[in-house]
Amino acid sequence: MKRFARIGLCAAVSAFVVACRADTVMAPPVAASPLIVDPCSTDPYADGCYTYSPPPPPQGLNIGYSWNDCRLVTAATDLDKDGVNDGCERALAAAFAPELVINTFECNFDRALDRMGGEYLYAVQLVIEDTGPRYRIVYMPGWYRDCGDPATGFGGHGGDSEYIIVDVTYRSLDVSRPSTWQTLQVFLSAHCGAWNGVDCQWWNAGYWERDGRWVNNVEYGAPVVWVSNSKHANYYSKGKCFTGSYGADDCLNNARTTRYPIAYAWQNVGSNAVPYAFELAPNDYAANGIPAHSGSPMTYSWTREHFWKTADADFRGWRGYDGSTPYGKILRDVAAFNPLPGIIIPVTCTPTTKVC
């Protein structure tokens, strides 16, 4: 019985081992794991997949002319004989026209035309400086009045020859972008020649990148400029308006924004070689100056202003009395515009020595 039991046990164990081996050998192969596919690769907008990355801001402006296009001129396309295509001049002036932030409650606000009282003229030329050539746009609003001290009116006078100068070039700061027209630097008049004229100077584009604003948020495009209450000093930011010029200005109630208007051919005052080439009577105006064109009740029809003479030509805002620095001196000493076609004068004006 014992021997039989051991044989039976052994047979049972053997059968179990065989059965286990049979199961192991005969088990079907395990199916391969399916390829794991990231659903975001096929539908990046699926829930949990899409991460918004804002595109870089636009950089510079297109005006329909390249750098070389602006230098292609004929007698018919360069009436003011300054070597720059007239169409390019107007396109540049319009594209880089600053946006002015103004106070509508001061004495120079023109209620009839619903804008700051001025004629809004400009001039464009190519200049060469140590850092390279650039097209220079001089915006001359020709304010009718300087209101003087905002509280007392002390120091006010007829005519206020403030100005904004924008230097532009044609370039790309990023190899992935095409070349566009871009602001290099901006000259802002602010109490020029006065005791507090420390901010009457060139400001590079970085000031607008850090503290100011660009029109329509286009980097290196047209600058936003704050115009101080009553005295019309220009600043690159509201903060600078309060702290600049030894704290002489304020922009507390500056709430109206308006682009410097470029709409008519006559707004281009031409060049020293051919003043007022775009006027109806250029020869007469070259000798006697130009009348006010806007029809504003703040001006007198019999008055003339000259934008190229540097002597005996105080700017009176088409009002016939008082006056301020002639724009001719600004165009010569600050903008360094050509006195004759083909002659380029390097900038020598500094905030402490210039006459403006």
Q: What does the domain layout of the chain look like in residue ranges? A: 69-334
Residue 338 confidence (pLDDT):
67
Residue 20 CB coordination number (10 Å): 10
Mean pLDDT throughout 232-261? 96
Residue 63, SS3?
Answer: coil
CB 226, CB 220: distance < 8 Å: no
| Averaged confidence pLDDT in the chain | 87
pLDDT digits (tens, 9 = 90+) for 90-115: 999 999 999 999 999 999 999 999 99
Reading the block at residue 38, the tokens are: 């990231």
Mean pLDDT throughout 198-214? 96
What is the chain's Cα-based Rg? 36
pLDDT digits (tens, 9 = 90+) for 257-293: 999 999 999 999 999 999 999 999 999 999 999 999 9
User: Is-above-0.85 flag for pTM?
Assistant: no
| Helix spans in 248-333 (H) | 282-288, 327-329
pLDDT digits (tens, 9 = 90+) for 46-74: 777 776 777 778 899 999 999 999 999 99
Separation between Cα atoms, residue 221 and residue 214, nearest integer Å: 6
* Structure-token match 């002597």, residue found: 311
In terms of Cβ atoms closer than 10 Å to its own Cβ (0-12, 13-18, 19+), residue 104 is: middle
Write down how long the chain is: 356
* Structure-token match 């802002």, residue found: 188
* Structure-token match 């990023």, residue found: 174
Top-confidence residue, 261 or 354: 261
Reading the block at residue 47, the tokens are: 């829930």
Residue 344 confidence (pLDDT):
46
